[in-house]
Amino acid sequence: MNPLAPQIRKLHLIQIVAALLGTALSIYLLVHHTRVKLGIQDSSSFCSFGGLADCDVVNVSKYSEVAGVPLAAIGAIYFFVLLILGILIPPRNPNFQLVNRFLAWLSLIALLIDLFLLVGVQWLMLKSFCLMCILTYLANLAHLGANFRQTQLQYKSHLLQNLFWGNRPWSLRQFSSSRFVMALISIIAFSGLLLFLPSWIELKNGQAGQAKEAASDFLSQWSQLPVQEVSIGPEDSTSGNPEAKVKIVVFSDFQCPFCKKTAFSLHTLLPSFKNEIWVAFKNFPLDRTCNSLVQHNMHPYACSLARLSVCANKKGNFWEYHDQVFMHIDEGDLEGGWDVIRKKLASVFTGAEIDECLRNPETLNPVQKDIDLGIQLGIQGTPAVFINGRLVSVPLDMDTLRKIISLENHQK
C-alpha cells in the first residue's frame, strides 16, 4: 500500500469540498444577480455593508456579464467541472494524475481571472468588494493548493513541472468511455439548468416579466417622448461625470417605499456608469408640512428627512446619508420615532447636528425650491426620474439605463 495514500485522499477530499463550496456560492451569486437585475430585490443584501464591502454593486455592475452571460453562471459551471471530475476520477483511478494536471491548468487560469476581477474591477474600477465573490476565489485557491500539495508529496523536485506538465504525455486513450460520457452529460445538464435558472426566476416573479415588457415598450418610444427643462444647480447633490451626455434628475421622498427601490438601483448602478452619467437628486417630500400639493399627511417624516439631506450635502456626505436612510431605515424604524432615527443616522450626524439642522429655517429653502420645480414639471408622485429632460415611467434597472445611455449617445 502506498504510504502517501491517506494524505492524498485527504487532499482530494479538500478539492471536492472546495469545488462544492465554489459551486454553491456561484449559484447564490447567479440568483442574486438575476434578482437585482430584474428589479425583484430592492434592498441591500446581507453581504453588503456599505463602503468598500458591497456585493450588490459588484454583482450587477456592467462587468458582471460576458456577452450577456453572468460571470456567476460561468463560475458555477467551472466549479462543477472541478467537482464532477473529482468525483468520477478518485485517487485510485489510473488517470488521477493526468486529470489533476488538467485541473491545475484550469485552476491557474481561473485564479488569474480572479486576480483581475479582484484588483482590476472591484478595487480600481468599482471601489467596492464582493465578499461572496472573494469566497469563490478562495475556494479556487484551496483547490489549486491541494493539488499542489499532492504533487509536492509525490515529487520532491520539479514541483511546478510535475504539477502542470507531469511525466506522462497528454492522452485520453486510457480514460474510461463511460466515465467520460457521464462527466460530459452531467456538465451539459448542469449548464442547461443554470441557463434556465434566470428565466425560471423571472417566471416565478411574474411582475418582473411584465416590467421587462413594459420597459421594452417604453424604450421603443424614447425618441418621441417630450423633453422638459430640468435645471441642475450648484446646490444640488450630484454624482458622476458633469460632462456626461446623459444627465439624470431624481425627484424623491425619503419616506417613500417606491423611492427606496429607485435609490437601490442608483446605488448599484452609479459605480459602473459613473463616467457615462451625471445624477442629481432633488427632494419632493409627500408631506403637507412643506409640500402644498399634498392634501393628506402621507409621510410625516419626509420633510424633516429632506431637510437633513440638505445638511448632509453641506457636510459633503449626502450620498452616505441617502444610502443610510433608504437602505437602513424602514417603516418600522420610523414608527419608533426620532430616537430610533437618530441611532440609525449616527454614522452621518450627531444628535446635536440633527437638532441644529431641523431648527435652522434656512434648511427648508432648498427643499421648497425643489418642490416648486417639481410642481412646475407636473410631478404627481415619487419617484420621478428625468433623463435628459424625458420622464422615465418604468423602473430604472441596469438594462434600461444601459439602453437609454446607448440611445442618447447615438442621437445627433
- The tens digit of pLDDT for each residue in 70-87 reads 999 999 999 999 999 999
Question: How far is Cα 246 from Cα 90, in angstroms, rounded to an integer?
Answer: 56
pLDDT in the model for residue 155: 76
Q: Would strands 246-252 and 277-283 be described as parallel, antiparallel, or unpaired?
A: parallel
Output the pTM of the full model.
0.87
Q: What percent of the chain has pLDDT over 90?
A: 60
What is the pLDDT averaged over residues 319-329? Answer: 92
Q: How confident is the model at residue 161 (pLDDT cuts 50, 70, 90)?
A: confident
d(CA 287, CA 300): 6
Strands 390-392 and 69-70: unpaired
pLDDT at 37 over 70: yes
Decide if pLDDT at 178 tops 80: yes
Q: What is the pLDDT of residue 112?
A: 96
**Phi/psi of residue 20, nearest 5 degrees:** -65, -45
Nearest to 126 by CA among 70, 63, 79: 63
pLDDT at 174: 61
C-alpha cell belonging to residue 394:
418604468
* Residue 76: per-residue pLDDT: 97
What percent of the residues of the chain are helix, what percent strand, and what percent coil, each to the nearest 5? 60, 10, 30
DSSP conformation letters of 359-379: H-GGGHHHHHHHHHHHHHTT-
pLDDT band at 14 (very low <50, low <70, confident <90, very high): very high
Range 11-39 average pLDDT? 94
Residue 168 has pLDDT above 80, yes or no: no
Amino acid in position 27: I
Q: Does 397 have pLDDT greater than 90?
A: no
Q: Is the pLDDT of residue 148 over 90?
A: no
Q: What is the pLDDT of residue 77?
A: 97
**How many whole angstroms separate alpha carbon 272 and alpha carbon 61?**
5
Percent of the chain with pLDDT strictly greater than 70: 94
Task: Work out the average pLDDT over 186-191.
Answer: 96
What's the pLDDT tens digit per position in 86-144?
A: 999 999 888 888 888 889 899 999 999 999 999 999 999 999 999 999 999 999 999 99
Domains of the chain in sequence order: 5-204 (1.20.1440), 220-409 (3.40.30.10)
Evaluate the CA torsion angle 156, 157, 161, 167 in order and state its sign.
Answer: negative
For residue 170, pLDDT over 90 is answered with no
Nearest to 69 by CA among 193, 213, 195, 212: 195
Q: Is residue 412 scored above 60 in pLDDT?
A: no
* Residue 390: strand pairing partners: 387
Segment 357-395, tens digit of pLDDT:
999 999 999 999 999 999 999 998 899 999 999 999 988
- Measured distance CA(253)–CA(269) in Å, rounded: 20
Contact 212, 202 (CB under 8 A): yes
Residue 199, all three cell numbers: 428565466
Peptide bond into 257 cis (omega under 30): no
DSSP assignment of 199-216, as one string? HHHHHHSHHHHHHHHHHH
**Which pLDDT value is given to residue 167?**
65
pLDDT band at 227 (very low <50, low <70, confident <90, very high): very high
Question: Which of 8-17, 50-59, 353-362 comes out lowest in average pLDDT?
Answer: 50-59
| Rounded Cα distance, 66 and 131, in Å | 21
Question: Using one digit for the tens of pLDDT, what is the confidence trace for 276-323?
Answer: 999 999 999 999 999 988 888 789 999 999 999 999 999 999 999 999
Name which of 94, 97, 79 is nearest 179 in CA terms: 94
Which DSSP string corresponds to 227-285? Answer: -------TTSEEEE-TT-SEEEEEEE-TT-HHHHHHHHHHHHHHHHHTTTEEEEEEE--
Spell out the residues 6+ positions from residue 286 whose beta carbon is closer than 8 angstroms to its own.
253, 255, 256, 294, 298, 299, 302, 381, 382
Check: CB of residue 303 under 8 Å from CB of residue 290: yes
